[in-house]
Amino acid sequence: MNNQNFILIKGKPFYYEAQKLILNEVPTITFEQARDILFFAKELLDEKNIEFNLIYGTLLGAIRERSFISHDYDVDIFIKDQEALMNAIPEFYKKGFKLCRVEENRLYSFMVNGVYIDIYIMKKAPFFFNWWCYSLNGNIIPKKYLKESEKIEFVGAMFNVPKDPIRLIKFFYGKNWKTPIKGAHGRYSIYPVHFYRKFKKYLFTLIKRQ
C-alpha cells in the first residue's frame, strides 16, 4: 500500500511515496537485484562522501557465504551521518533511488525497481547506556562492535564492515551463526533485541514495585 508522506529537509517538506514493507509480504530478492541496489547505493553515497557499513543480514551473508543470503528480502547498511543523508535525499530521488519508508532518526528505506535497501542510523544510546553503547535502529549495541571499520571484498567491490565482523555476528546471532536458518537472519531475531526487551521488562517491574 502506497501513500504520499513527507519529511522536513532543511525546514522544507519533501514528499515521497511511502510504502508499508511487511516481511512476509515482500518477495525474496535475487543475487542480481541485491547487488544492483547495493552498488547503486554505494555510487550515490560515495559521491556525497557518506561512509557506510554492511550490517545485519547483508553482513552475515558477506562473511558466512561471501554472497547475499539466498532467502533475504532486502539489503542492510548503516551510516553515522544522518544529516548528510537527509540533505542528499532529493538528489537521490531524482536519480531513481526512491525514498519509500522513514522511521525518524532510525531508518530510511529506498526502493529501486521494487527492491529496497534499509539504511540504518547509528546514534548515541539512551540513558546510562550511552557511555559504552550505540543505538542502531533502537537496539543497544556495545561500542566495541561498531566503533571501528575495516574493508572487505564483497561481490566485486570493497565495502566497509565493522572491525572484526565475526565478533559482531556472534553477538547478533550466537555461536551457531554459521548455520543458515531461513527467516531467522533478520534484525528482529538478533540477540540484542531479545536481551534489551528483557531488560526493559525487568526495569519496569522494579519501577512498579516502588
Read off the pLDDT of residues 68-104 as tens digits, 9 standing for 90 and up.
998 889 999 999 999 999 999 999 999 999 999 999 8
> CB burial class (10 A; 0-12, 13-18, 19+) of residue 147?
exposed
What percentage of the chain exceeds 70 in pLDDT?
86
pLDDT tens digits, one per residue of 117-142? 999 999 999 888 889 999 998 888 99
The CA distance from 172 to 75, in Å, is: 17
pLDDT in tens, 147-157: 999 999 999 99
**Whether 12 contacts 3, CB under 8 Å:** no
Percent of the chain with pLDDT strictly greater than 90? 69
* Residue-wise DSSP of 92-128: HHHTT-EEEEEETTTEEEEEETTEEEEEEEEEEPSGG
Nearest C-alpha neighbor of 5 from the set 20, 13, 17: 17
| pLDDT band, very low/low/confident/very high, at 114 (cuts 50, 70, 90) | very high
The CB-side HSE value for 178 (13 A sphere, CA atoms) comes to: 3
Say how many Å lie between the first and final Cα of the chain, rounded. Answer: 45
